[in-house]
Every structure is written in structure tokens, then in C-alpha cells.
Amino acid sequence: MHALDVLGDPVRRRILELLADHGELGAPELGAGEIGEIVQPEFGISQPAVSQHLRVLREHGFATVRAEGRRRFYAVDSRGPQEAQEWLTPFERFWLPKLDALGTELARGKLQRRRAVDAASPAVADPASPAVPGTVRSVASGAGPPAAAETARAPSNSAPGTPPAPTPTPTPKET
């Protein structure tokens, strides 16, 4: 049986997914009973049918088994998926450029959405702040008093292109 024939059965694909997902969670093995508890109700099959699918996966290099007393623990064996990948490699030229183009378009759309959000939230006068001429606050900044980084003062009576005059620092009054 070819690797793709093994993967052609939805029950075996599901079992392989369970083993792979379980391995990513840090425990590389999954008991046959645990696999059966998940797969049996999903596909309406018996425990002996689950065992048959596990045997096919094991015999064709997709799963390994370890016996512990009467229990059997299964894990993904990389040989079967590697065989399937090797068979599919010559065909990657048909879909990889399209997937690369899709990734580019997704990134471009994300950038355009971010620019649209930034453009849609212009700075407006903040009604919650004290009446100080030229104080503005971004709409997207939320409620509450504006932070120093969110406020800006418009230059008063200065010529275009010249920096605003420095504001004098108040000195404490002597008593």
C-alpha cells in the first residue's frame, strides 16, 4: 500500500492528526483506548475497527507502538509522512508559487487595512481636556486625560518653518 493510499482513509488521517496534535502538546504517545474514545463516536466505528486502522498506520510507517502490559501507546513515525512528502515534492511547483502570491496579497491587504485605520482616526480637539488653545488628542486614544505623548501645541504667531518659542519654566514663588 502506498503512503497516499494509507492517508486516503479519513479515519486514518484523523488518527494521525490526533497523534500529531498530542505530540505537539508534549506527550508524544497516545493510548489506543484514548484514540478509540475520540474516533469511535466521530466515525461510528467499533474498537476493533480502530485497532485495524492503527495496525495499518503502524505497518506502513506512520505510527509506532509501545506495549506496556496490556496497553498500547502510539506515536507518529516520521517515515510514512516523509514518504508521502517525497512523492508530492515534484508537484510542489504547481502550488507553491500560488501560495507565495497568496501570502503576498494577504500581507498587502493587512498593510492597507492598517493604513486605513490610521487614516480614519485623525487628531481632534479633546473636549475632556482643559481649554488650552491648540491642544489636540487622537480619537483612538480613548477616554481620560491625554498623556504627554498624545498632546501637541500649535505654534502661536510664529512664522512658517520656524520652531515655536520655548515656553518659560515657572519658578516657585518665594514666601
Residue 46: pLDDT over 70: yes
pLDDT of amino acid 38: 95
Q: For 7-18, write each residue's pLDDT tens digit.
A: 999 999 999 999
DSSP 2-55: -HHHHHTSHHHHHHHHHHHHHHHTT---EEHHHHHHHHHHHHT--HHHHHHHHH
Q: What is the mean pLDDT of the chain?
A: 79
Q: Give the rounded percent of residues in the chain with a pLDDT score beyond 70.
A: 67
pLDDT at 153 over 60: no
For residue 99, which amino acid is it? L
Note the pLDDT of residue 128. Answer: 61
* Higher pLDDT, residue 137 or 118: 118
Confidence of residue 144 (pLDDT cuts 50, 70, 90): very low
pLDDT of residue 1: 80
pLDDT classification of 125: cutoffs 50, 70, 90: low
Q: What is the pLDDT of residue 146?
A: 46
Q: Between residues 30 and 153, which one has the greater pLDDT?
A: 30
Q: Are 105 and 94 in contact (CB under 8 A)?
A: no
- Tell me: pLDDT of 86 over 50: yes
pLDDT at 126: 54
What DSSP line would sit under 136-153, residue for residue?
EEEGGG-SSSPPGGG---
Neighbours of 90 (CB within 10 A): 8
